[in-house]
């Protein structure tokens, strides 16, 4: 049958997972860090997920799709309630990580490389002397705990800003835009975790770079939950 159903633009999706959380029917899930419509028959076409998306990646379309199956949705919801808790968002799922056989870094007592304070995006001023000519690091809170050599690899020689859009519940784009616009920032490095909720930090940085009106070299580095650099 032809009916109204959601469509997700993967190019716009930042992987925050907000739509999946808003879809009580379970029609949307996170696959490879992107939101996906998993089952047509779980989508009721009411669009509760639309206002949850911070980047407007979800729209309605009219297309051939299986009819909404309320009985299947209720059965899915019952099975989900009966299943052992998995922590909800992939970024908050519990896991044990073993580093027993990992080599101990030679510089175990290395000094801090932090060169300014404060570091929280919410607290840092939009204009400060240390931003002049800065190589800017925008990092997710968890990255410094996951990656053992974070100070030497990322903080050294950079001005550091940290935050977690999931816990802070804010979009940092406006403040980061002002920092880039008002200061002579030479480069931007974004360090995020592999979990979907870290997509909000990367999206904020991308938006700020675009809105600043400046051409600033930038890169994104992704850290795995077990402390490896996945890409840069």
* C-alpha closest to that of 190 among 163, 224, 156: 163
221 lies in the same domain as 138: yes
Model-wide pTM > 0.85: no
List Cα–Cα distances, 157 to 100, 113, 116, 121, in angstroms: 31, 8, 11, 18
Residue 121 lies in a domain: no
Query: Interior CA angle at 99 toward 95 and 94, to 5°?
Result: 5
214 lies in the same domain as 141: yes
Over range 14-41, report the average pLDDT.
87
| CATH number, position 64 | 3.30.70.20
* Overall domain count for the chain: 2
Residue 211 lies in a domain: yes
The predicted pLDDT at position 96 comes to: 46
Q: What is the average pLDDT value for the chain, to the nearest integer?
A: 86
135 lies in the same domain as 80: no
> Considering only 38-42, 94-98, 128-132, 227-231, which range has the smallest mean pLDDT?
94-98
227 lies in the same domain as 170: yes
The predicted pLDDT at position 166 comes to: 79
The predicted pLDDT at position 232 comes to: 67
Contact 147, 229 (CB under 8 A): yes
* C-alpha closest to that of 124 among 158, 151, 97, 162: 162
Residue 155 pLDDT exceeds 60: yes
At a CB cut-off of 8 Å and minimum separation 6, what does 173 contact? 203, 204, 205, 207, 208, 211
List Cα–Cα distances, 25 to 14, 33, 38, 85, in angstroms: 22, 20, 11, 17
75 lies in the same domain as 155: no
Residue 110 lies in a domain: no
79 lies in the same domain as 134: no
The predicted pLDDT at position 32 comes to: 77
Is beta strand 2-8 parallel, antiparallel or unpaired with respect to 58-64? antiparallel
152 lies in the same domain as 222: yes
Residue 19 lies in a domain: yes
Task: Concatenate the DSSP letters of all residues of 158-220 into one string.
Answer: SEEEEE-HHHH-S-THHHHHHHHHHS---EEEEEEESSGGGHHHHHHHHHHHHHTT----EEE
| CATH number, position 207 | 3.40.50
64 lies in the same domain as 134: no
Point out the domain boundary residue: 41, 65, 89: 89
Residue 156 lies in a domain: yes
Point out the domain boundary residue: 89, 120, 144: 89
Domain of residue 181, residue span: 129-231
Element containing residue 231 per DSSP (H, E): strand 229-231
pLDDT digits (tens, 9 = 90+) for 73-111: 888 888 777 655 544 555 545 444 455 565 655 555 678
Residue 201 pLDDT exceeds 80: yes
85 lies in the same domain as 134: no
134 lies in the same domain as 227: yes
* Phi, psi angles (nearest 5°) of residue 114: -65, 130
75 lies in the same domain as 139: no
Residue 120 lies in a domain: no
67 lies in the same domain as 134: no
pLDDT digits (tens, 9 = 90+) for 9-20: 999 998 888 888
């Amino acid at each position: 049958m032809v009916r109204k159903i959601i469509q997700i633009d993967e190019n716009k999706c930042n992987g925050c997972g907000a739509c999946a959380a808003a879809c009580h029917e379970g029609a949307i899930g996170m696959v490879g860090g992107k939101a996906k419509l998993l089952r047509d028959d779980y989508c009721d076409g009411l669009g509760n997920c639309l206002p949850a998306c911070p980047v407007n990646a979800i729209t309605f379309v009219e297309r051939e799709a299986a009819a909404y199956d309320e009985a299947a949705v209720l059965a899915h919801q019952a099975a989900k309630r009966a299943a052992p808790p998995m922590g909800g968002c992939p970024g908050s799922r519990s896991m044990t990580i073993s580093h027993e056989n990992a080599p101990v870094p030679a510089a175990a007592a290395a000094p801090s490389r932090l060169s300014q304070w404060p570091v929280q995006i919410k607290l840092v001023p939009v204009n400060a002397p240390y931003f002049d000519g800065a190589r800017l690091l925008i990092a997710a809170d968890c990255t410094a705990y996951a990656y053992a050599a974070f100070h030497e690899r990322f903080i050294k020689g950079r001005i550091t800003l940290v935050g977690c859009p999931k816990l802070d519940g804010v979009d940092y784009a406006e403040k980061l835009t002002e920092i880039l616009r008002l200061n002579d920032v030479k480069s931007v490095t974004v360090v995020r975790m592999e979990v979907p909720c870290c997509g909000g930090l990367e999206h904020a940085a991308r938006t700020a770079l675009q809105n600043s009106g400046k051409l600033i070299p930038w890169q994104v580095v992704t850290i795995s939950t077990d402390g490896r650099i996945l890409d840069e």
